[in-house]
Amino acid sequence: MAGEPQSDCLFCKIAQGEVPATIVRETETTVAFRDINPQAPTHVLVIPRLHHPDAASLAAAAPGVAADVLREAGEVAAQEKIQDSGYRIVFNTGTGAGQTVFHAHAHVLGGRGLNWPPG
C-alpha cells in the first residue's frame, strides 16, 4: 500500500536503516544518500521515507513530502557545494525513463557539465 514501507523495496529498507547506504542528510520525512553508480562527481538520491512508486504518485498523495524532497535536494546541492556551478534534479518515472527502483526519488547531479538534452 502506498505510504507504507514495502518489504521488497530497497529504498524502504535504506530509509529504515535495514540496508546500509552512505547517508549525507536525513530529516523526519526524507533520507539523502550517495548513488552506488554515480553518473556525476556529485550524485545523491533524495527519497521520501514514505513509499510511493514515483514522483507523481508522491505529489498526489503527499504534496508536503514531495516539497520536502525538493527542498532537501537544494540542501544537498548547498552541502555538496554545487549550488553556484549548477546542478540537476531528476525524477525518472517508469522503466522507459530509466527508473529501476519503484520508490519515488530525486537524483541530485552536479560537479561537471550537464549537457542538454539529456540522454
Cell 524532497: give the residue. Answer: 69
5/28 Cα distance (integer angstroms): 15
| 96: DSSP letter | G
- Report the DSSP beta bridge partners of residue 28: none
Residue ranges of E strands in 1-119: 23-26, 30-34, 42-48, 87-90, 106-110
Query: Please, which residues have CB within 8 angstroms of residue 2's CB and are 6 or more apart in sequence?
Result: 50, 51, 52, 53, 57, 61
Out of 43, 52, 103, 105, which one is annotated catalytic? 105
Known active-site residue 105: yes
Residues forming the active site: 105
